[in-house]
Each structure stands twice: as structure tokens, then as C-alpha cells.
Structure 1
Amino acid sequence: MKIHVYAGLKDYFQPEFEVSEPVTNTDELKAHLLTLNDKAGDILSSCRFAVEEGFIDNAFKLKEHDTIVIIPPASGG
């Protein structure tokens, strides 16, 4: 599956990368991402996940060929 990250997550991961390990929901994906970079834990815990331009929750079943967008919380000023 393809992963796209934005904003502060780019400090921990490439903006676009692929995950070949089987993950079926957002909790499993977060756990896998923490194995790639455990320093991203705080920001990952507050991120939103989207597939096909729609936000998803943990009940959404991820598929091998999905493109997942991970969006950290926004702050403005």
C-alpha cells in the first residue's frame, strides 16, 4: 500500500513511501509505522487517516492496494 504523509510527519518519514507488510486497519498501520520510526509516536497518535479522499476510522478495512493519506493535526496562526 502507498502512504502519503504531510506537515510534521515528513520529519519522520519520506513524503511518499510504500508498506508491503499486511495491515488491516489504522491501528496496525500506526504500529508498523512506529517500527519504522518510533520517534513519530506522539504525532501519529493524533493524526487522521484518509483513503480515496475520505477520512476513515479504525473499523475501515485497509486493502493491499489502497493509498493512505496521513494528516497530522493542523495549527494556525
Structure 2
Amino acid sequence: MKVHVFAALKDVMPAALELNATDIRTIRELKETLLLTYPDAVTLLNACRFSSEKEILPLEKEITDYENIFVIPPSSGG
């Protein structure tokens, strides 16, 4: 699976990561792996949502056949 990050996350981790870990079964486990691997990104990652190419993925969602997962940082608008 390829994990894509945006905005300020790109300052503390690669913009795209290729993960082949078979022990990552859910979005929550993916998030925990990223938190451990990139401690400088903890605050940002805790505020992010995760999505596939089609939908926002809840933390409980099992990772099955997602080719790409996107880490969506918080945003605000006016």
C-alpha cells in the first residue's frame, strides 16, 4: 500500500510511503505505526483523517485492497 501525506506533514515525513507490512490490518494500526515511526508528526497525525480514493476511512476499518491511502490534515475555510 502507498500512503500519501500533504501540507505540513510533508515537513516531517516523506510525501509518499510504500508500506508492505502485513501486520498492519486496520487504519488504527496504520496510524499507530506512523506515530511510532515519525514522532515529530504526532500532533499533526492525531488531528488527521485517513481516506481511500473514494471515502473517508474510520480507524476501525480493515485495510484490504487499498492501493493508496491518503492522510488528510485538518483544514479550515471561510
Common fold: TM-score over 0.5: yes
Aligned to 2:29: 28
Q: How many residues align?
A: 77
Could you say what secondary structure the match of 2:17 adopts?
strand
Taking structure 1 as reference, are residues 64 and 18 closer, same or farther at Cα in structure 2, changes over 3 Å only?
farther
The CA RMSD measured in Å over matched residues stands at 1.7
In the TM superposition, what is the alpha-carbon distance from 1:34 to its structure 2 partner?
Answer: 1.9
Residue 6 (structure 2) pairs with residue 15 (structure 1): no
TM-score (norm 1): 0.84
Runs of 5+ consecutive residues of structure 2 not aligned to the other structure? none
Shift of 1:13: 1.3
Question: What is the TM-score of this pair, normalised by structure 2?
Answer: 0.83
| TM-superposed deviation, 1:66 | 2.8
**Percentage identity across paired residues of the two chains:** 35
- Please list the CA deviations of residues 56-76 of structure 1 after superposition, one character each: whole Å capped at 9, or x if unmatched: 102211126531000110145
